[in-house]
Amino acid sequence: MPFLEPNDNSTYVVKYMNLMGRAGVIRVLLHLAGANYKNEFITMDQVAADKSAFPFGHLPVLVEHRTDGTTFELAESLAIEHYLAEKFGLLGSTPQEAATYKSVAFNIYMELYVYCFASSIPIHEQIADSASEFNVKALPNFLSSHERWLNKNGNNGHYFGNTLSYPDLVMLNWVRLLSMFGIKLDEKSPIRKLEQTIKALPQWKGQYEKFHPTSTIEP
């Protein structure tokens, strides 16, 4: 796994609430890469009191302190994820590979977010209704599509090749969320294989549960 060593000695600060939430994949990327980072917990009241203190008036924000003394600040969760994924070698080695990896990750977000977090109908009600669009169309189409991608790669627990990539971590995040919502995947599903493969990475250092997408982060 060539990516799992940061390629410089930068230190990072993740500005977000003391929840995983939208900073979940960001923190996982930093943790698995062995990066030197810390959390700066910001409340929504603090954001509301001075939106100008943040690039777009909301969280999360990543601050990178470089060894040359410069500081780089980046907002928007997906932009931060892409930046770190590229920096730690999780977006392939060519522009075409990077675009393909991002397309898979984008699809995971786009296909599920609207139902789970942007719908007027709570997700647990959609799941309980066997005739809901989520149960009849969205979820089956999503699972079929991504199982096809994983099978195309040999059902080895990764989307691409034999090593970890950015879309692997995005899918893991959403598998854990779907499980929390009560959705059980077939044990023979390639998506389940991905979950088991990524869970077994030694780079978690025994902290896999700490990085559950609904976890509260301790100071």
> What pLDDT is recorded for position 2?
44
CA neighbor of 144 nearest in space, from 107, 100, 101, 181: 107
C-alpha distance from residue 24 to each of 6, 28, 81, 172 (Å): 19, 6, 10, 11
Mean pLDDT of 97-114: 96
**pLDDT (tens digit, 9 = 90+) per residue, 118-168?**
999 999 999 999 999 999 999 999 999 999 999 999 999 999 999 999 999
Using pLDDT thresholds of 50, 70 and 90, give the confidence band for residue 217: confident
Centroid of chain to Cα 141: 21
Domains and CATH numbers, the chain: 11-88 (3.40.30.10), 95-203 (1.20.1050.10)
**Arithmetic mean of pLDDT, 67-71:** 94
Cα–Cα distance, 87 to 66 (Å, whole number)? 13
Q: In the structure, what pLDDT confidence band is assigned to residue 9 with cuts at 50, 70 and 90? A: confident
Residue 208, pLDDT > 70, answer: yes
